[in-house]
A and B are shown apart, each in its own frame.
Chain A
């Protein structure tokens, strides 16, 4: 595969609906679309949305390729907030790019 095709190819999707994933606890500078409040938390993939150019790169007018698989991940409110008031089964659904996710079983404790 030549360099151009490699850049254009999407990163292989690693997750599917139902998978348990953990958001990496990383704090790089730059334009980050993974909210601070969800980093380090674990949830379940509900949708595999397909590949998208990386906004962290688009923010600097770079192409953001290869495209990153994007997922809708569902988190239990009772697990995210220690003082959550209401039904703990309430959820937060957030789109997260694959490079911010690890399989929950692989996540550093």
Chain B
């Protein structure tokens, strides 16, 4: 049974990789009913409009790992940009049309001696303006509990083993700072264009639970 929302417009294509699930396989849940109710009340009071909701959805849908990968690839190929990115990530990503709003972007660089990893133990803070919506596991109890205490075990589960000689820095996002990991550039890519390099960079590498792909 599909739900019916007099004020909604669902019949358009979303330009993103995964089509959204249909709203319901069966009866609406309590909080889905609450969503409809709050939305209709707010629209009735003139506080929000259906068009605004649609635009906000489309804006978030347009963000995803591709944007983050472009930023990283540019940092790899443009030393002046990389310097700006690390000194003031919020300002540097404006080059890509990113507005961090009330948050600030800190780009933390992986090196041969330091590996960075990001978590929000208290809730789910994530650099949404650059990477889009976070994956479920990032918001999960087990990641939030263990990333700060046993990062190496968690990274092993994710498939990477960081040598003991490399320091791991875990960043717990407790305030308005949002962290993006700048992965190490893989060897053997010296003459690659930024566009080609971007394909080696995925979301998990920018959270710090993966490395950039090898060529």
Contacts and interface: CB of A to CB of B under 8 A. Distances in A.
A52 B175 contact: yes
A57 interface: no
B204 interface: no
Nearest to A38: B172
Contact of B174 (A81, A85, A94): A94
Contacts of A81: 149
A35 B121 contact: yes
Interface string B57-79: 00000000000000000000000
Contacts of A33: 122, 174-175
Contact of B150 (A85, A89, A95): A85
A87 interface: yes
A72 interface: yes
Contacts of B171: 93-94
Interface in B96-155: 104, 121-122, 148-153
Contact of B167 (A37, A72, A90): A90
Interface size bucket, B side? Answer: 20 to 34
A101 B149 CA distance: 22
Interface residues of A, number: 25
B168 A93 contact: no
Given A81-B149, A92-B148, A87 B168 contact: yes
Contacts of B151: 86, 90
Given A90-B168, A92-B170, A37 B175 contact: no
Contacts of A87: 164-168
B106 to A, nearest CB: 8
B174 A86 contact: no
The interface centre, meaning the residue of A74, A90, A94 with most chain B CB atoms within 10 A of its CB, is: A90
Interface of B: 104, 121-122, 148-153, 164-177
Interface of A: 33-35, 37, 49, 52, 55, 70, 72, 74, 77, 81, 84-87, 89-97
14 contacts: A33-B122, A35-B174, A49-B175, A49-B177, A70-B175, A81-B149, A85-B152, A85-B153, A86-B164, A87-B164, A90-B169, A91-B168, A95-B174, A97-B175
